[in-house]
Amino acid sequence: MEETAKNIDRLVTTAAGWGGRPDRWIVPALYESASEKAGGKPVSLVAAQKIIEHVKEKDRVLILDQFGYIPNMPYGETDGPLGVASLARAISFGIGALPILVTGPKDIAAARATIKAAGLNVLPLKEALQYKKAIAAEILFPGIGEDESKKTATRIIDESAPKMIISVETIGPNKIGVKHSGAGYDAEANDKIPGLEYLFYEATQRGIPTIGVIDRGNEIGSGTIEEAVRRITPYADVCRCPCGKGGACTVPTDIVFPASVSNWGAYAISAMLGYLLKKPDILQDDDTERRMLEASIMAGAVDGISGQPIMGVDGICLKGQQGIVNLLHAIIENGLKGS
């Protein structure tokens, strides 16, 4: 079990991005720090076990992503929606729980379309509750600024009563509340971004377990390993915006999972859920991966590196994404054969 998870984590922390980008060396180091925080165990294993422990049939799980900002990615990027959709699928098909998408107005269209492409219908919470299977709910998070965000977060947690909250590539604030792009610039220079981090502050107060999947350190969850992020990730300690406090996000989660592409971290958790539940099919296959990527682009997402609506995630082409999914399937299916 631990060997399978270790191989999964090695795969999803392998760098395949553009030359000269920092991901060729930062993620394995960030991962080491995250694994230490997880008791020295593979993070995919600890995350999947935590989901299985806390989430039962008919329970609800909030899943979120958010990176839409002007001008680079006005309707979000392809990293995030596919990870959210993969987890929605795994949680619905594997456990029979209800995944609830929560994100801001810029990002919701891409995430919704991607979840549908993964094989789940997506409806407002009240309607979703009337369906028995293959269903996800969505709740819009429009709150901007401290007061509005806090109110929105409280309302959403009250009405959805989640057993867990999982973030995949959700931009988060640094120690003075500024949200940074991966390149260390102020992402809110043109437009404020909804305060999804308040869901995590509220979850901590109420004892709701949380997971954050990250790939740089400017996302929710990075606060768990902030010291490592500041030491390892470019612009995390000293940013390129006037705030001068660095891009490291200070919002912690119970488990943080640094992967080379945040989607891949989410896939690793889906794969491990499939392995532990002996239902490997809950992880999407490569054809579904293609449909998911296409759906996210058609709904407004762009590849986060090129900024283009092309079939890529963080500058890595569709075949690369499908390769990860295929290898994850091989690892868990062969692992199950031997057990």
Q: Which residues bind Zn ion (CB under 5 A)?
A: 178, 239, 241, 243
Smallest distance from Zn ion to CB 235, Å? 8
Residue closer to Zn ion, measured from CB, 186 or 215: 186
DSSP state of 145: S
* Neighbour-count burial of 225, counting CB atoms closer than 10 A to its CB (0-12 exposed, 13-18 middle, 19+ buried): buried
Amino acid residing at 317: C
Contact in structure between 164 and 61 (CB atoms under 8 Å) = yes
Residue closer to Zn ion, measured from CB, 113 or 236: 236
Smallest distance from Zn ion to CB 188, Å? 10
Cα–Cα distance list, 300 to 73, 81, 111, 143 (Å) = 9, 11, 10, 21
Residue closer to Zn ion, measured from CB, 190 or 308: 190
Helical (H) or strand (E) element with 47 = helix 43-54
DSSP state of 183: T
CB hemisphere CA count around 204 (13 angstroms): 11
Smallest distance from Zn ion to CB 168, Å? 23
Smallest distance from Zn ion to CB 114, Å? 30
DSSP letter for each residue of 286-300: HHHHHHHHHHHHHTT
Query: Measuring CA to CA, which residue among 7, 43, 16 is closest to residue 257?
Result: 43
Residue closer to Zn ion, measured from CB, 186 or 202: 186
Q: In 3-state terms, what secondary structure has residue 171?
A: strand
Residue closer to Zn ion, measured from CB, 174 or 284: 174
Residue closer to Zn ion, measured from CB, 118 or 187: 187
Residue closer to Zn ion, measured from CB, 55 or 178: 178
Smallest distance from Zn ion to CB 247, Å? 6
Query: Measuring CA to CA, which residue among 237, 251, 217 is closest to residue 29?
Result: 217
Smallest distance from Zn ion to CB 303, Å? 24
d(CA 86, CA 299): 17
Smallest distance from Zn ion to CB 190, Å? 15
